[in-house]
Amino acid sequence: MPIIPKAHSALTMTSKISSGHTLCSLLFETTPDYEKNLQTLLSLIDKAEDNSLLVAAEVCLTSYDYENMDAMLSFAPHAIEALKKASRNKIIIMTMLEERDAKVYNFAKVFHNGEVVYERAKAKLFRFGDEHKYMQEGSVDDFQIIEVDGIKIAIFICFELRFKELWCRSEGADVIAVPSWWGELRSEHFSILTQSLALMNQCYVVASDSKNEECTALSGIIDPQANVQRNGNKPCLKQAYSKKEISLMRRYMDVGIG
């Protein structure tokens, strides 16, 4: 079954352009209790002001709990409904495992105003972590820039950050979201890649990793000039979104990004 994004491309989707958005990178520990993790996420979403764009870590509700695959898959519909309700006047970006046609995928999802407005399956699985033994890859062709509430968004799911072909596909995005479960041993790679992605695309990068021991905990926000803020001990790091800042950078250092 092909995995089809639920939103139109940025070139064809019409959307009301809003102002006053706030970018939020989230950072919290994923426990073995799925419901507790969901309530932690919902609490952070609830505390964020209207017009926030929030990015949570990859599989933040369950981690890669392969030993309890059936429980993970059963939890997804409940979590989706809760997140739909929480997405009023907010944009929420995260990933979760779901089953489609007897195959398991890791879906990036964008929730907004009570709906899942976009989803796509992870196209580059992390084979060092045996992801390919438990999940199916999505299609690179489904990687695209979408527009939600006037913001052009691209999403890299963790390991996808290493692939140049996807960097090319993200050109022109206003915000690049990077939900990750990134290994602590490669923390420097995560820092360099997320900062470089903002520098090359002259846009905002909102990267969220897990606070779990094996991960980098390097959630953060990088602006169009590649200035970096990391969450540190903040569960939610906030920064004002400015389309003007993107436009100014692209005019000042013209590298051909429209």
User: Is 1 inside any structural domain?
Assistant: no
What's the pLDDT tens digit per position in 142-167?
999 999 999 999 999 999 999 999 99
Q: In this structure, is residue 6 part of a structural domain?
A: no
* Residue 101, in any domain of the structure: yes
pLDDT in tens, 184-198: 999 999 999 999 999
What is the domain-level CATH number for residue 64? 3.60.110.10
Count of domains forming the chain: 1
* Domain-embedded: residue 129: yes
Average pLDDT, the chain: 93
pTM of this structure: 0.93
Query: Strand pairing of 151-155 and 115-121?
Result: unpaired
Residue 9 belongs to some domain of the structure: no
Is 70 exceeded by the pLDDT of residue 3? no
d(CA 26, CA 147) in angstroms, rounded, equals: 21
User: Domain residues for 205?
Assistant: 22-252
In a domain, 13, yes or no: no
Assigned domain for 7 exists: no
Q: Going by DSSP bridges, is the β-strand pair 204-208/175-179 parallel, antiparallel, or unpaired?
A: parallel
Asked if residue 131 has pLDDT above 50, the reply is yes
